[in-house]
Amino acid sequence: MRRLYRDDFVRHGALVFAGTMAGNVGGYLYHFALSRQLGPESYGELVSLISLLMIAGVPAGVVTTVVARYAAEFHARGDRGHLRGLVEWIVRIAVVGGLVVLAVGTGLTGLIARYLHLGSPLSVFLALVAAALGFLGPVMRSVLQGCQRFTGFSGSMALEGLGKAVFGVLAVAIGWGVAGAIGGFAAGSLAGLVLSMALLRSELGERNGFSIEPRRLIETTVGVGGSNLALVGLITVDMVLARHYLPALQAGYYAAASLIGHSVLYVLGFIPGVVLPKASDLHARGEDPRGVLHRALLLTGVCSLAAVAAIALMPTLAVRVVAGAKFLPAASLALAYGVAMMLLAATSVVVTYRVSLHRFGYVIPLLVVVGGEMLAMLAWHASAASFLSILVAANAVALVVVLVKVNGNSFGHST
């Protein structure tokens, strides 16, 4: 145990895991409490607004990875001035973009409220505020990630998630309804942002000239965007098509199996968050980063194999715990879905490693795999077993694709 604790990858991974889980617990408590406080109709309003926030937050996923990559590089070089320039550049863009979104969105609050059948346009305005904070908060937190300030990074995630639950529940208890619930959501995001900004002060140096090579920035952004698109496709394509082609009851069982499988993927989601800054740091210093990949894959393999073994030994119990007794027929599907997600977890680790090295030669082949998976499911969709066979095969091919060195692609070089 002492040897494990001395391993900074394991130690930092444990910190990120704890922060992620605390944030997830906060999210669960937020929905658990507010669904009961608000009732079906008002809670439906809240969920519709949060769904819009999730859609609006998609670009933040690309930006946070790009920013973490550059922050790790500047931190590795000891370039605190450029790190300050990066933070100030992000803040300027976020403030201007946030004001534009608020200005445009405020003019559309009435229309949005009517379309979603909301009781008050105020809820829409507060959702716009939450969207702006929901962009800036994770991006600032990614700077902490790049600087390997994992305690602060995890603390910010935990504070944001738990803060949403506390502020949201209190606001609804006071009587502010859906507006209070979404306002609490925004307040939690603000709390996490404030903590991140406070912790970043010690990392920033004096101002100096700040610039990022446009071509390299575009390559990074396009590469990360393509990577995210491919990974999201590997996670979601089967669910959409299964819902369309399978009978309603079979689709429900398939969804329950996916919930069990995705739990394997999400529990391991903290590992790429550690890989990115550590591999970027070593690469920027001119050192060999492959040890980071090897440890990450070993940890992913051990944890995912343990989870898959548990599903194999107790599939019925897994279904009962995750989905309930009504979904017991899904037990026959759970193991295959768990195997598919084990492969996808490893793919996600390798993709993150390649992003950290600024090597994107895998992106187009990986998108081709997603397209092939979709075409195969469109052609063979007679049963849930057909979907699972294609899903496992596609994720296995995806892992091979990202592991194979790709040359001759415009995104394939490292700088």
CA 178 centroid distance within chain:
26
What lies within 8 Å, CB to CB, of 201 at 6+ separation is none
Q: Across the chain, what does the average pLDDT equal? A: 84
Band of pLDDT at residue 6, cut at 50, 70 and 90: low
pLDDT given at position 206: 63
Band of pLDDT at residue 260, cut at 50, 70 and 90: confident
Helix (H, G, I), strand (E, B) or coil at 350: helix
Residue 23 has pLDDT above 80, yes or no: yes
Domain ranges, ordered by start, for the chain: 2-203, 214-403
Q: Which of 48, 193, 39, 35 is nearest to 124 (CA)?
A: 48
pLDDT per residue over 132-149, tens digit each? Answer: 888 888 888 888 888 888
Residue 171 has pLDDT above 70, yes or no: yes
Alpha helices (H) in 57-115, listed in sequence order: 58-76, 80-115
Instruction: Classify residue 246 by its DSSP letter.
Output: S
Q: Is residue 351 packed enough to be buried (19+ CB in 10 Å), middle (13-18) or exposed (0-12)?
A: buried
Band of pLDDT at residue 1, cut at 50, 70 and 90: low
Residue 233 token pair: 């496709």
Determine contact, residues 311/234, Cβ cutoff 8 Å.
Answer: no
Q: Which of 67, 28, 267, 88 is nearest to 153 (CA)?
A: 67
Could you please report the per-residue DSSP string of 367-400? Answer: HHHHHHHHHHHHH--SSHHHHHHHHHHHHHHHHH
pLDDT per residue over 63-85, tens digit each? Answer: 888 888 888 888 887 777 777 77
Alpha helices (H) in 147-176, listed in sequence order: 150-174
pLDDT per residue over 304-349, tens digit each? Answer: 999 999 999 999 998 888 777 878 888 999 999 999 999 999 999 9
Distance CA 235, CA 395 (A): 10
Top pLDDT among 101 and 233 is at: 233
For residues 283, 285, 288, 291, the Cα torsion angle rounded to the nearest 10 degrees is: -80
The mean pLDDT of 251-267, rounded to a whole number, is 83
Q: Residues in the chain, how many?
A: 415
